[in-house]
């Protein structure tokens, strides 16, 4: 899980806190290759130094709830600080919108909603509830917005050491190899956000329910998107669409020949409403077949 950690240590300059490798050279936004490599290295470094060593070691006082069922740990905060510092070192003129920073300053979300926005979007620890309960299903997600749309994204499954990255118009790389368009195909199986699982089960019965096949939840959008790329599932469905959870994954679905739709049928956008919903798949066929049923589910969710 942390085999890359020792490799990174040999070449780590010190960060301001004296804990690792965040003194990074500035990279031009125009140099996509260099920027992509630097961001991937930063994510792996932070995962190895801040996240993986704390798995299964958290004390009760290091876990809290923002609101019932929405957990945060000291690891979320530490990892976000390091990611933010590293991204600002690479691109000083591009602001960072992190999940925990938005909790303290909700106005930061306006950067994502502006049509001309350029910013980083960061989920330092996706699957916090899993991490807090020592369940090895969690990830780091980073996305780059340019001119109001997602331009690039990275998802790193820390326990599984799976890394995916995408640049708009250039496809998706999984562990350095290109993911062929429409390659992630399986018998109908999907993931739903854990907060709507009961509602999903209650309302999607009878006609159309069979089209969804087996439905489960992992409690970690990043790992779910990677499973779609790897052919382990066919689609994912969420009601709550916070940008740090979905900006990178939705771009990846587009880049392998599928897409991501809001419940109203429009294309997913990171700045859309919090409860606009999302159906994502690496296959357009799946989107076409499932979205009519999703529209009915959306009405049920709104009313109940």
Average pLDDT rounded to a whole number, residues 60-78: 92
How many Cα atoms are found within 13 Å in the side-chain-facing hemisphere of 127? Answer: 27
pLDDT tens, position by position, 233-256: 999 999 889 999 999 999 999 999
Residue 176 has a pLDDT of 87
Helix (H, G, I), strand (E, B) or coil at 19: coil
Task: Mean pLDDT check: name the lowest of 1-5, 13-17, 62-66, 280-284.
Answer: 1-5
- What is the distance in angstroms between the CA of the first residue and the CA of the last residue of the chain? 41
Three-state SS string over 99-129 comes to: HHHHHHCHHHHHHHHCCCCCEEEEEEEECHH
Average pLDDT rounded to a whole number, residues 63-89: 94
Answer for the pair 32, 153: CB distance below 8 angstroms, yes or no: no
Average pLDDT rounded to a whole number, residues 192-211: 63
Q: Tell whether the model's pLDDT for residue 202 goes beyond 70.
A: no
Answer for the pair 200, 257: CB distance below 8 angstroms, yes or no: no
Confidence of residue 14 (pLDDT cuts 50, 70, 90): very low
Four-residue CA torsion sign, 48, 49, 53, 57: negative
Q: What angle do CA 64, 69, 70 make, to 5 degrees?
A: 60
Give which of 222, 228, 264, 282 is closest to 247, Cα–Cα.
222
Answer for the pair 105, 61: CB distance below 8 angstroms, yes or no: no
Residue 209 has a pLDDT of 62
Residue 80 has a pLDDT of 98
How many angstroms separate the CA atoms of 227 and 234, rounded? 9
pTM, two decimals, is 0.88
pLDDT tens, position by position, 271-299: 998 889 899 999 999 999 999 888 777 77
Residue 198 has a pLDDT of 61
Q: Tell whether the model's pLDDT for residue 143 goes beyond 50.
A: yes
Residue 16 has a pLDDT of 38
pLDDT tens, position by position, 151-197: 999 999 999 999 999 999 999 999 889 998 865 455 688 998 866 65
Phi then psi for residue 80, to 5 deg, are -65, -40
pLDDT tens, position by position, 99-124: 999 999 999 999 999 988 899 999 99
Structural domains of the chain, with CATH: 4-178 (3.30.540.10), 189-303 (3.40.190.80)
Q: 98 - beta bridge partners? A: 122
How many angstroms separate the CA atoms of 282 and 265, rounded? 16
Q: Tell whether the model's pLDDT for residue 3 goes beyond 70.
A: no
Average pLDDT rounded to a whole number, residues 40-57: 98
Tell me which range, 59-68, 81-90, 286-295, is most confidently predicted by mean pLDDT: 81-90
Q: What angle do CA 41, 124, 55 make, to 5 degrees?
A: 90
């Amino acid at each position: 899980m942390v085999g890359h950690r020792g490799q990174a240590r040999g070449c780590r300059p010190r960060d301001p806190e004296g804990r690792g490798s965040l003194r990074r050279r500035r990279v031009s936004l125009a140099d996509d290759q260099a920027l992509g490599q630097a961001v991937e290295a930063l994510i792996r470094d932070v995962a190895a130094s801040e996240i993986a060593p704390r798995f299964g070691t958290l004390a009760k006082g290091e876990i809290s709830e923002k609101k019932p069922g929405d957990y945060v740990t000291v690891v979320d905060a530490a990892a976000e600080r390091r990611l933010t510092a590293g991204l600002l070192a690479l691109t000083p003129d591009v602001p960072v919108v992190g999940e925990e920073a938005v909790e303290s300053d909700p106005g930061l979300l306006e950067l994502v909603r502006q049509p001309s926005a350029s910013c980083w979007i960061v989920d330092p620890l996706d699957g916090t509830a899993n991490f807090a309960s020592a369940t090895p299903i969690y990830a780091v997600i980073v996305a780059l917005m340019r001119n109001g749309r997602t331009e690039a994204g990275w998802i790193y499954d820390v326990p599984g050491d799976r890394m995916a990255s995408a640049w708009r118009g250039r496809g998706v790389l999984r562990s350095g190899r290109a993911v062929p368009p429409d390659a992630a195909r399986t018998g109908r199986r999907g993931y739903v956000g854990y907060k709507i699982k009961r509602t999903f089960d209650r309302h999607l019965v009878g006609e159309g329910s069979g089209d969804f096949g087996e439905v489960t939840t992992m409690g970690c959008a990043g790992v779910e998107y990677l499973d779609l790329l790897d052919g382990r599932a066919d689609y994912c469905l969420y009601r709550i669409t916070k940008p740090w959870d979905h900006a990178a994954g939705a771009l990846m679905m587009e880049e392998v020949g599928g897409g991501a739709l809001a419940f109203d049928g429009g294309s997913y956008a990171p700045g859309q409403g919090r409860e606009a919903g999302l159906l994502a798949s690496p296959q357009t066929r799946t989107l076409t077949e499932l979205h009519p049923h999703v529209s009915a589910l959306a009405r049920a969710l709104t009313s109940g």
